[in-house]
Structure 1
Amino acid sequence: MSGFAHLHVTSGFSLRYGASHPETLAERAAERGMEAVALTDRDTLAGAVRFARASAAAGVRPVYGVELAVGERDERAGDPVRRRRNPVRGGAFVDESAPRAVFLAREGARGWAGLCRMVTAAHARAEGGGAEAERPLLAWEDVREDGVTALLGAGSDVGRALAAGRPDRAARLLSGWREIFGHQLRIAVDGSGPLRTAARALGLAAQEGVSPVLTNAVRYADPGMGPVADVLDAARRLVPVDPRGGLDGGERWLKGPGEMARIAEAAAEAAGYRRNTAHRLLTLTEETAGACRVDPEDDLGIGSVHFPEPWLAGTRGRTAVRELRSRCAAGMAVRRYERDPVRWRRLEHELGIIERLGFSSYFLTVARVVEDVRGMGIRVAARGSGAGSFVAHLLGIAQADPVAHGLLMERFLSPRRAALPDIDIDVESARRLEVYRAIFERFGEERVATVAMPETYRVRHAIRDVGAALSMDPAETDRLAKAFPHIRAEDARTALAELPELRGVRAEAYGARFWDLVEGLDALPRGVAMHPCGVLLSDASLRARTPTVPTSGEGFAMSQFDKEDVEDLGLLKLDVLGVRMQSAMAYALDEIERAGGERVDLDAVPAAPADAADAADAADPLTYELIRSSETLGCFQIESPGQRDLLGRLQPETFHDLVVDISLFRPGPVGGDMVRPFIEARHGRRAARYPHPDLEPVLRETYGVAIFHEQVIRILAVMTGCDRGRADEARRALGGEEGRARVRAWFAAGAERRGYPASVIAATWEIVESFGSYGFCKAHAVAFAVPTYQSAWLKAHHPAAFYAGLLEHDPGMYPKRLLLADARRRGVPVLPLEVNRSASSYRIELESDSGVWGLRLALSEVQGISEADAARIEAGQPYDSLADLWR
């Protein structure tokens, strides 16, 4: 029976229930001769994308489904779900009393959309949202056919009635399901439970004329994994493992066709049927699997892109391509580039790539978000490789001019890159949720969701859960867990053998079984939370392609897929990062305007360096004097002791120097002794060295030292004659040993064809190979250098307001007492608390005696005064007596 297919299979994405990864399940199905296998996780479709990838790699056809708890038939719409009381309220530990059914997608995209709808509906009724939600429950009125086949197994209301010896009740319950699903209803004969129950299910199917299918309620890939499932059950139910036999019978593994054929024969015999009944049971199972066809590419959308409709970005009836070209041309005029042929060529080059890949709508969408954020008065800046796009610069997404800074589009986007473009934007941390709400309002809830972030078992969590399951002393388990560093659970034994800090742990005292269980939990999902910055944007079909769940707090809809999965699904993921330095600078600017009436545009400060890579006349002397003095406590990216030491040695004079400084202060360059050669060449103490004159234009800006990804891309392109897209592809392959070997052979052959001597090829390869450990994306560094310069400018020109912003939003690494000490040392008066002058937040005041702006301490810093008390005191100012204050 090579055609057998398991139709009820859970993976580790069934939180604290499934004990195997989807990849393992797909591999085992192929190894055991199965043509198809289903994934039917509890309450989620989160594993579907990686299951699709694994199935394609293994050569098996994936069947998609979900197992959901289903509400009672007499439950009225809108009524609260009846649940047992939680432990805090004196009730049961975990309520798993609701019957469960399995639903399989049948009719391609329609069936997948039906699964998404049901999962979303089940979670919409759960209380709390997110990882802290009550168990999801699909209300009976939300059960619909929608291109879906229903399987009623031992855990369903019908199965439970059969187990209780109530075939009459089972038949009555079955009729309600049949009204909804008709011929798409199946009774699952479960081979993992008692044979008597399986026989009763087979008998009911024959009696009622419903097709039966054979399942095994799979929870793990291999035999012998039952103890891991026991630990997961114990962790989920908050009870220890029963020492008399555990909670799992050990039979719920992915059995091969031979084992399942024997189960079918045993069930048929127990039900009093002939052997051909077993054969028909297996045939019906195979036919059901064959009918449940969902194509990962055509129906799930894997490999295609789904951006919001262009009209939402303001195309005004034009195509996205025409609108993007029009806006870029306008940007050229606004930034006074219209007479620059170099920039026009760069623009045409980038637009050609964007149009070829079909990403015009992507850029318009991101630009729309950035425009909205700026319109709300929120500081926003691009970061990452997206800052290397000239189109992003012209649209106002990225501030720095990539042409002036020598940034490459290919590092961000090229026809050779399989990944979707990824532009990250930094916003004020204090207003990040406002940005989220604005995105939901702009594009509509049917097109927007946040991104999930699974939390997986690592060694400390695994030790604690295994210890609790085995009834070990909690204090001892906690001590053992804390002794381990934050490593994978599968590395527990290796760490015990190799790490000096674990020499005092007697591994044998816990027994081999303990460590087997710890390692068996490795990387299994144990919870899920909302990603701290990922926002998902799509067209109006988003809810038909991803299930969403409510999150706690703001209640934003969250896709069940993580950041890697949403990219595979072709969904636009925009990382909206809350940066406290942006909040601190915004607060400082508000204080400058409030106290002095001066409105400072920090993005257009005099001699702003963002569009001038090296121009000395664009440098603000006071700002760079501050930076060279290393008095940069509180300044973005350059405040750590190591950074201040590097500033003192480097002595930056231009914006490009800041970019280099940020790039050099990384573990790779510091550990690889790349800082010293650069600084010596920078100050003329050694001559810059180049492997070949052709590479001098590439390495001149860094005195012969390769620091940036963009430089290595150019080196590879120059030496081999390839385009920059291919060069970036080779650069990315340098991270692995196998890829590095392939790139070396390709590089040597290409350079030799172009006539470079062997000595030059060897010397250049040494630079390229060592680069893998310390290179940094120049676009990242340029994007970081903009707020670095801005924060230093504020400290140099408006120190009191700068410190007020730091103390209010705490963006750096130093405690407030050190920031106050730094303020005093730099001549900023620190004014004491004064009931008629201090506000609930830090404020700046013009000191009457000295005429210098000082910093007034905040009422909120007084221990024992709440935010509400501080606000009440501020609202009542001024006070003319103590009695007035107390009133």
Structure 2
Amino acid sequence: MSPDPFVHLHVASGYSLQYGASHPHVLVERAAEHEMDALALTDRDGTYGAVKFAQACSQAGIRPVLGVDLAVAPVGPGGLAGPGGRPGAPGRPTPATARERAPVRGGAHRDLPVHRGGLPRVTFLAGGKAGWAAICRMVSETHLAGERGRPVATLDLIAPHLGAGDVMVLLGPTSELGVAAARRRDDLGLAALAPWLEVVPRDNLVVELVSHRLPGGGSGGGGWGPGTSPHAARMAGIAHRAGLGTVLSNAVRYADRLDAPTVDVLDAARRLVALDRRHVDRANAEGFLKSGKQMHEVAEEVCRLAGLAHDSGTEARRLLARTRAVADRCALDPRSDLGLGEVHFPEFDRTGESGRSAHAVLRARCEAGIGRRYGQAPRQRIWKRLDDELELIRGLGYASYFLTVADITDLIGEMGVRRAARGSGAGSLVNYLLGVSGVDPIRHGLLMERFLSPLRASLPDIDIDVESARRLEVYEVILARYGGDRCVCVSMMDTYRVRHAVRDVGAALGMPPGEVDAIAKAFPHIRARDARQALRDLPELRASGLASERLDLMFRLVERLDGLPRHIAVHPCGVLLSDDTLLSRTPVEASYAGFPMSQFDKDDVEALGLLKLDVLGIRMQSAMAHAVSEISRVDGVELDLDDEVQVPFDDEVTYTMISSARTLGVFQIESPGQRELVGKSGIESFGDIITDISLFRPGPVKSDMITPYLEAKQGWRTVHYLHDDLRPILEQTQGVVVFHEQVIEIIARFAGVSYAEADEKRRALGDVEGMAETRVWFFPRALARGYDLPLVTRMWEVVAAFASFGFCKAHAAAFALPTYQSAWLKAHWPAHFLSGVLTHDPGMYPKRLILQDARQFGVGVLGLDVNASETSYVVERLEDHTYAIRLALAELKGISEAEVSRIVTARGGTGPGCTTPYVSLSDFHARARVSRPVLERLVLAGGFDDLYRIAGGDHEVRPRGRLTRRDLLLQVAELDRHSRMLDRTSRGRGLAARRVSALVRPDETAQDAARRTSSDPAVRAAAQSRAARPVREADSVQLTLQLGDEPGAGEVVTGLPEMTTDERMRAELEILGLDVSQHAVAAYADFLDALGATRSRDLLRRRSRAELLVAGVKVATQTPPIRSGRRVVFLTLDDGTGPVDCTFFEDAQGPYAATVFHSWLLVVRGELRRTGRRGVSLRATGAWALPDLHALWQRERSRDAALAAVRAEIDRVPVGRADPDEPPHRRVLVHSSGFRLSPYADIKPAGDDTRDVARTLWHRSPGSPG
């Protein structure tokens, strides 16, 4: 059967952000169903989906046609299609000067159709490789020319890319020509064509006819509006008079007619309006991907109305033939035209070492690194490994790749930024010698083949971790080094998941914002498509009442949005490096922070053969850098964490601390499961850390390898090897398969193949077909090498169970380095380390728990002090030579960076050594110039307690008086009143001029204008930054002079009582998010003692399997994957003496899931589990909100009656009671290895982030996380 000759030339996918309703592969599948052999993708404002579309076309045997649909500023006479749809001023207005109507109430003036006030839109198609390059550069020019996020082209801007005849231009119903046709003004239509004919070859300019066969023409201009057949016919007539060709399209927005309601929701979400007839663009559901037969019917109708020939059927066939001819001219070859499958490295001379080949430079640098890394160690093994790796790199032509990565690593080092490599690249000796990686691959038995292999099609991947606080600085240095025409950031698409979808659909349906917010937060962070399934599966949602018929429409629409792109953002770590043809292969736009950003994501750029370097901002690196800085500042010790002499890898104190499971804040080993694992196993070496990090992964869990590993390590069983050949491979891990590298070695040893081939077979285990093929391949080879069938069968079971779920040992070794370094810092410098953790917040727990942990390590906690607190957490040495951590000013709710800077600057320095400390509240008010709310919060949080020796501060009450925080609050009000009066009456004295607002945006300078017109995309992207720009502050800050117009110097003691301890704690939680003066659970101490609750510090004294109660603040909830495929909830509480880890299995979740996810102060009942030396956790059987039980206790008059009432409430729900509404069968995802995974595992749970627990401790509302 011959293919359908019709080709859709104007198709929008979901990558037309919040406009198209179908994924590219769905559109391709529908075209394949219609037996079409070509299909176009012309997304709005970008080519975001082009690579995925081309890949889908290749798989379906369809030729891709690629283009873009751009808004173009009006060029016709008198502003034919100016904003508002009315004639505007003559000329060619630019996007920056065009005026717009105000949006509808509550909405946004964004992307309206041209007949309702929007800008004209034109479609461009790429013809061949040169055409694709022109499209890429044209899109880049458009995005970088105007306002970020609102790309509007001008004809002058894009004309240089149209004259060569490599781009087809389609003027359709939304162009100025279409507006003229809607007004039935052929003369204006011909005039609108004239400017285009001046810059576009006549053969490349065609008129696009679209008819959705609207009855009466819809809302856009009676029977002649866009989308009607009469409108298309008039456009055909204008084209005929101008001597231009015509093509037929359907302006596709969705693959299937049933998807039409989805575009209504997207339109409403994009414009921020509710769904009603005024805001719906479509009048029917005809904008789908029709078959050729259906489009032939449209063609006949349009041609009949156009009356350009006696036989409308013949003219219709000509129209379809012209459409086909344009498609044939523009069909692209994915490899030769787009570069799919090719590799593009930066030119070698960009690395600054021209004159020699890249390979020669690489060898020289590696040889120079041998002495630095290995000293006088024997060299024979090193030279052999180096020669092998360099030969592999030379054969693949990757020398410039390694030199580029080394160059960037050196640049980062020269900035003084901490850095470390991660990923399989740590298995390369070349990377170690170049200084890219800090892990010795020879010492730790790492394989180069896991990282780089001649059999692997994908590019090598090296990730570099840097300090998160300085990541943007690193980006700037890299961009400055390579230039915006060779170096840009990688993008990523934020796609619809259930919470985003609920919010947008709820708003579109006009639901109350509070209700929409409650519904969204009730869901865990799952796929939108799983919304209604989750309502049936999850007990906390079954109890929520959200499955009512009233909400059924909303959830059906929510599921339709699943996975559709919402907006583009810069990838958190990907940097793209290439040669000077980069901008001919990817369009670029500006990120929010002003970095040039490719419109392609990480998968796309890999498919295009572009070098992506992941520069990850790791908060732990910043935390460790902060700790090192504090050690130098406070103690005068210059510490180098990467120096093995200063930080040896055999430090007994460090391993003892890790084995005690006191690892909160330590990189990689602070989660409840990891703390339990290190407590069970006992960490005695760096190799143990590598193994521990790798064991806590799905592969070893599925293979049930953790238990035998622990038993062997503790000496509870003898290590047994299936064969002596496995001993050298598995000896480090007690006979257990843990690492990818071990699987590679096993396959290589048993099958007699190279490591490279063995790694390919390991990768094939990741899918069902690959698993079956590898099994057929493995058995005859292993048997041929003399291994017997039972052994080969058992070995295959081990390898198959492991599948692709294990962990790369090189990756684990790279992780283990900062893990050990952070543990060493906590063991030896706990105050300095935890100050870094608190400042940069690298872990999974809220800061209040880290402060409690600091106290457990003997570190004091000092409150806010306007004369001592800094921007970050700092260490202070106390009189007794112990250390304390001072709270940071940045923790104060609502304080700005500018206000923090002024507070520190005005006092003339940092900490106790400041030169001009504040002497009073009025002095602070005059010099620091903070807002009244911030000043009030400083008072409430105790920021002036030390200055006034207020009881409860860091000092005892002094003779200065009995001033209270309430007195200071009254003075704040007086100071604010006085300032306002001065602002009104004393401007001539210049006093008000001192209070310059920090929010004023500086006027654009000549330098800003020059940046906007620079030839470097990086410079133009920076000019579009939406990030905060530096504001010029006052050159100096003067002391307050007593001129007689300030309030009295003496503070008035009113006799108001001081805040109670409870009030202070509540103020701290609300303002700082921290309970500094006392723990949040302290207020319930008497109740918990009466109830017999066990404290964390006492758990090790209780017998295993004892049933007990624990209580505390919820600090973390997790739902990691487990081998049964069921959902397990891991909950961590903090009771002030340490963390308590609780596990809720599915049989205990039903009655209590809503409480666990939506309450912050909890009482949990469970059975104590003791494992290993320090492993302790609770198998939970119930959970209750602590405030509810406490309120019940307080209602009773007698102590005995109160306890009886509480215990009756706890016993009211039988332990393990089955939920009557629980579905008999729930959906489980099954991997090729047999690994079962709950769709609700390994996701962020419902409710608010536990990091925000403190500020919401005192609020809980039904149906909404508190």
> What TM-score comes out, normalization by structure 1 length?
0.93
1:80 paired residue among 72, 83, 97:
97
1:271 paired residue among 306, 327, 331:
306
Offset at residue 619 of structure 1 (A): 0.9
Structure 1, unaligned runs of 5 or more: 610-617
2:290 paired residue among 245, 251, 255:
255
More relative contact order in 1 or in 2 (CA 8 Å, sep 6+)? 1
Offset at residue 255 of structure 1 (A): 1.7
Q: Would you say 1:152 and 2:152 are equivalent positions?
A: no
Structure 2, unaligned runs of 5 or more: 76-90, 213-226, 925-1039, 1041-1266
Q: Would you say 1:303 and 2:341 are equivalent positions?
A: yes
Q: SS of 2:256's equivalent?
A: coil
Contact 1:87 1:93 in 2 (8 A): no
* 1:208–1:695 Cα change, 3 Å: same
Q: Would you say 1:228 and 2:262 are equivalent positions?
A: yes
- 1:138 counterpart letter in structure 2: A
Contact 1:265 1:278 in 2 (8 A): yes
- 1:111 counterpart letter in structure 2: G
- 1:75 counterpart letter in structure 2: R
2:689 paired residue among 653, 658, 662:
658
- 1:390-409 aligned at under 5 Å gives the runs 390-409=429-448
Q: SS of 1:363's equivalent?
A: helix
What is the aligned-residue identity percentage?
52
* 1:459–1:416 Cα change, 3 Å: same
Q: SS of 1:224's equivalent?
A: helix
- 1:536-685 aligned at under 5 Å gives the runs 536-552=576-592, 554-606=593-645, 608=647, 619-670=650-701, 673-685=704-716
Q: Greater shift after overlay, 446-455 or 672-681?
A: 672-681
1:870 paired residue among 896, 899, 903:
903
Distance in 1 of aligned mates of 2:258 and 2:154:
36
Distance in 1 of aligned mates of 2:874 and 2:645:
25
Offset at residue 437 of structure 1 (A): 0.4
Aligned length: 871
Offset at residue 727 of structure 1 (A): 1.6
Offset at residue 11 of structure 1 (A): 0.8
2:843 paired residue number: 812
Q: Would you say 1:417 and 2:456 are equivalent positions?
A: yes
Distance in 2 of aligned mates of 1:453 and 1:19:
19
2:153 paired residue number: 138
* 1:829–1:196 Cα change, 3 Å: closer
* 1:648–1:427 Cα change, 3 Å: same
Distance in 1 of aligned mates of 2:30 and 2:918:
80
Distance in 2 of aligned mates of 1:503 and 1:626:
43
Q: Would you say 1:456 and 2:495 are equivalent positions?
A: yes
Contact 2:13 2:253 in 1 (8 A): yes
Q: Greater shift after overlay, 708-717 or 289-298?
A: 289-298
Deviation digits for residues 123-168 of structure 1, max 9, x if unmatched? 22442x3xxx2x3210121132152110001111011111111110
Contact 1:454 1:529 in 2 (8 A): yes
Q: Would you say 1:218 and 2:252 are equivalent positions?
A: yes
Q: Would you say 1:388 and 2:427 are equivalent positions?
A: yes
Distance in 2 of aligned mates of 1:765 and 1:799:
47
Q: Greater shift after overlay, 319-328 or 240-249?
A: 240-249
Offset at residue 60 of structure 1 (A): 1.2
1:615 paired residue number: none
Q: Would you say 1:196 and 2:196 are equivalent positions?
A: no
Contact 1:216 1:252 in 2 (8 A): yes
Q: SS of 2:774's equivalent?
A: helix
Distance in 1 of aligned mates of 2:702 and 2:802:
12
2:324 paired residue among 286, 289, 293:
286
Distance in 1 of aligned mates of 2:188 and 2:664:
74
> What TM-score comes out, normalization by structure 2 length?
0.66
Q: Greater shift after overlay, 534-543 or 244-253?
A: 244-253
Distance in 2 of aligned mates of 1:789 and 1:335:
20
* 1:343–1:68 Cα change, 3 Å: same
Deviation digits for residues 478-501 of structure 1, max 9, x if unmatched? 544444433323334433444444
Offset at residue 411 of structure 1 (A): 1.4
Q: Greater shift after overlay, 503-512 or 684-693?
A: 503-512
Higher helix share: 1
* 1:828–1:238 Cα change, 3 Å: closer
1:612 paired residue number: none
1:613 paired residue number: none
Distance in 1 of aligned mates of 2:882 and 2:258:
75
Contact 1:84 1:95 in 2 (8 A): no
- 1:274 counterpart letter in structure 2: H
Contact 1:230 1:247 in 2 (8 A): yes
1:16 paired residue number: 18
Offset at residue 643 of structure 1 (A): 2.6
Deviation digits for residues 771-817 of structure 1, max 9, x if unmatched? 13752111111111111111122223333322332232222234444
1:318 paired residue number: 356
2:144 paired residue among 120, 124, 135:
124
- 2:900 counterpart letter in structure 1: E
1:758 paired residue number: 789
2:201 paired residue number: 182
- 1:327 counterpart letter in structure 2: R
1:742 paired residue number: 773
2:816 paired residue number: 785
Distance in 2 of aligned mates of 1:88 and 1:4:
43
Contact 2:497 2:526 in 1 (8 A): yes
1:99 paired residue number: 120
Distance in 2 of aligned mates of 1:811 and 1:500:
32
Distance in 1 of aligned mates of 2:59 and 2:651:
57
- 1:574 counterpart letter in structure 2: L
- 1:331-346 aligned at under 5 Å gives the runs 331-336=369-374, 339-346=378-385
Distance in 1 of aligned mates of 2:903 and 2:646:
40
Contact 1:83 1:95 in 2 (8 A): no
Offset at residue 381 of structure 1 (A): 0.3
Contact 1:268 1:274 in 2 (8 A): no
Q: Greater shift after overlay, 318-327 or 26-35?
A: 26-35
2:477 paired residue number: 438
Distance in 2 of aligned mates of 1:27 and 1:164:
38
Q: SS of 2:201's equivalent?
A: helix
Q: SS of 1:225's equivalent?
A: helix
Contact 1:32 1:257 in 2 (8 A): yes
* 1:597–1:661 Cα change, 3 Å: same
Distance in 1 of aligned mates of 2:794 and 2:506:
55
- 1:702 counterpart letter in structure 2: T
2:529 paired residue number: 490
Q: SS of 1:143's equivalent?
A: helix
Offset at residue 77 of structure 1 (A): 6.0
- 1:710-729 aligned at under 5 Å gives the runs 710-729=741-760
Offset at residue 78 of structure 1 (A): 8.6
Q: Greater shift after overlay, 219-228 or 155-164?
A: 219-228
Contact 1:447 1:541 in 2 (8 A): yes
Offset at residue 597 of structure 1 (A): 3.0
Contact 1:378 1:431 in 2 (8 A): yes
Offset at residue 514 of structure 1 (A): 5.3
Contact 1:840 1:874 in 2 (8 A): no
Contact 1:836 1:879 in 2 (8 A): no
Q: Greater shift after overlay, 353-362 or 173-182?
A: 353-362
1:882 paired residue among 915, 919, 923:
919
